[in-house]
Amino acid sequence: MAELVDALVLGTSTERCESSSLSSRTIYLKTQRLMALIFYVLPSSLTGSVLMKVAVENTSTLGRKLTVSIPSADLEPKVAERLKEVSRTVRLPGFRPGKVPAALVKNRFGPSIRAEVCEKELQPSYAKALEQENLRPAGMPEIEPVTMEEGKDFEYTAEFEVYPEFEVKGMDKLKIERASAEIGDADLEDMLSKLQQQHTEWTEVEREAKAGDRVKVDFEGKTRKSEDNDGSFPGNTANGAQFVIGNGTMPEEFEDSFTEALTGAKAGDEVKAKVKFPKGYRTEEVANKTATYTITVTAVEEGVTPEINDEFASKLGIEEGGAEKLREELKANMQRELDSAIKGKVKEQVVEGLTAANEVDVPNALITQEISRLREEAKQRASQYGQGNMDLPDDIFPDEMFAEQARQRVHVGLVFGEIIRANDLTADEAKVEEALDAMVAQYGEQGEAFKQYYRSNQQAMAGIESSVLEEQVVDLVLEKAKVSDKSSTFAEITGA
């Protein structure tokens, strides 16, 4: 059975067809690519001649069970042909190659050859059954062979979920507020200041830490001991973590207590900080509890902020134009950020309105895939947090942590996908080109090289096309919705 399942997975699994996990905006596109791949591999002999039997059973609202039966009359000649091929090369003691009696070959290798032939029939027959019954599977099927005996029809079952069928409603009732703003001199100066902070040069000092200093620490947190636990909990330790005192970049739960404990500490000092975790905190072991952290300071560093001048501009890759060119390019980047934020806020309203107006059954298979993707993202963020090595076990990110977010994202993908399907939308080539230009603009003189990279990378281009297609969905919704404009500021819109 494992071989049969592997054969199907290699042909139809979305995880094999795509190198990245499912995301909400690409659910529809992935489905179309999956189905295209399935039907592409159908041999002409199967699509035209096999008189297989297919029965469909509804196991739940979205659950389906296919029972597929391929006639023995079609299968046996293929088994016989394969046995003949094996007879020409098989080696058995007492016989020369190609001289082993057919009966002996069949007796020795018949069952495995039959399984091999069934494997080859599995993928195309499953695809043909989907086509015949007009089914759109969501995720991988569970395959279970029923009969593979000689002289009997090859029969198997495939259980899977299908995409829900629905019509998107409520677009004309949506009320959307669209913000607008101008980038002023104060906005530009504020962004320059932040750019300076990002390029602070740090030098180790032998003194007590103060606000604005960067400290490197190792820490371990413990809650109150119990009979079966010494107070440890997932993610309670870190080595080589770095914090800038008082700049508000630490997690909210840690900011005040760690700032207080580290202020005045020197390299080599050991200080304590108590952290109160809120009810419902993502790590259940410490939710609504207080943990005491033992923090060892390994270094205190003082920062020197660079001046905004031609030398600073040169360090940022601006060879001509100096500080003035830096301001010009920074303002252009801010404008792109502003435009993106405005679109993002409009899209959020569209998403919230459409999902509220269109409750649909969400396939569990898609939720599971999205949970896996969100977990991987969380692991990456955790490894980057503190810029040190985090001692995080795998079970710190249980499925429950992402289940609701995953369900919501898949819900959005289903609604957007139905709008795409119902309106026969395809990614506008001109808009794809504009999106590509906007994306590579941030790379300055190297932009053309990045553009060539994207053009040569099918997966990267597919991501851009998906984004553009998503924007086209939003534009279509805005044509039907009630939209009002509101004046705002760069900081309010972008959160900068």
Architecture of the 171-191+310-494 domain: Orthogonal Bundle (1.10)
pLDDT at residue 141 greater than cutoff 70: yes
Average confidence (pLDDT) over 311-326: 90
Q: Name the DSSP class of 306.
A: P
pLDDT at 30: 42
pLDDT at residue 225 greater than cutoff 80: yes
- Give 109's pLDDT tier (boundaries 50, 70, 90): confident
pLDDT at 18: 33
Q: In whole numbers, what is the pLDDT of the chain averaged over residues?
A: 85
Please state, in angstroms and as integers, the Cα–Cα distance from residue 349 to each residue in 26, 71, 181, 465, following that order: 19, 54, 18, 22
| Strand positions, DSSP E, 259-391 | 270-276, 290-304, 389-390
Which pLDDT tens digit goes with each residue over 228-247?
788 888 888 999 999 999 88
Average confidence (pLDDT) over 338-361: 95
Say if residue 357 is exposed, middle or buried (CB neighbours under 10 Å; 0-12, 13-18, 19+): middle
Average confidence (pLDDT) over 290-303: 95
Average confidence (pLDDT) over 323-333: 93
Say if residue 65 is exposed, middle or buried (CB neighbours under 10 Å; 0-12, 13-18, 19+): middle
pLDDT at residue 46 greater than cutoff 90: no
pLDDT at residue 359 greater than cutoff 80: yes
Rounded CA separation 312/305 (Å): 11
Q: Name the DSSP class of 227.
A: T
pLDDT at 393: 62
pLDDT at residue 387 greater than cutoff 80: no
Whether this model's pTM surpasses 0.75: no
Average confidence (pLDDT) over 366-392: 76
Which pLDDT tens digit goes with each residue over 414-431?
999 999 999 999 999 999
Q: Name the DSSP class of 237.
A: E
pLDDT at residue 167 greater than cutoff 70: yes
- Give 171's pLDDT tier (boundaries 50, 70, 90): very high
Amino acid at 493: I
Amino acid at 378: A
The span from the first CA to the last CA of the chain, in angstroms, equals 56
Backbone angles phi, psi at 170, to 5 degrees: 90, 5
Q: What percent of the chain has pLDDT over 90?
A: 58
Specify the higher pLDDT residue, 271 or 12: 271
Average confidence (pLDDT) over 363-383: 88
CATH C-level class of 200-304: alpha beta
Rounded CA separation 17/9 (Å): 10
Q: Where are the alpha helices (DSSP H) in 91-227?
A: 102-133, 185-198
- Give 307's pLDDT tier (boundaries 50, 70, 90): very high
pLDDT at 262: 95
Report the 10 Å Cβ neighbour count for 137.
24
pLDDT at 385: 59
Which pLDDT tens digit goes with each residue over 90-100?
888 878 777 77
Decide if domain 2-162 falls under CATH 3.30.70.1050.
yes
pLDDT at residue 409 greater than cutoff 90: yes
pLDDT at residue 391 greater than cutoff 60: no
pLDDT at 451: 87
pLDDT at 282: 83
pLDDT at residue 40 greater than cutoff 60: no
pLDDT at residue 16 greater than cutoff 60: no
Specify the higher pLDDT residue, 378 or 46: 378
Question: Is the Cβ–Cβ distance between 186 and 107 less than 8 Å?
Answer: no
- Give 250's pLDDT tier (boundaries 50, 70, 90): confident
Helix, strand or coil for residue 161? strand
- For the chain, the structural domain boundaries read 2-162, 171-191+310-494, 200-304
Specify the higher pLDDT residue, 487 or 84: 487
Report the 10 Å Cβ neighbour count for 492.
11
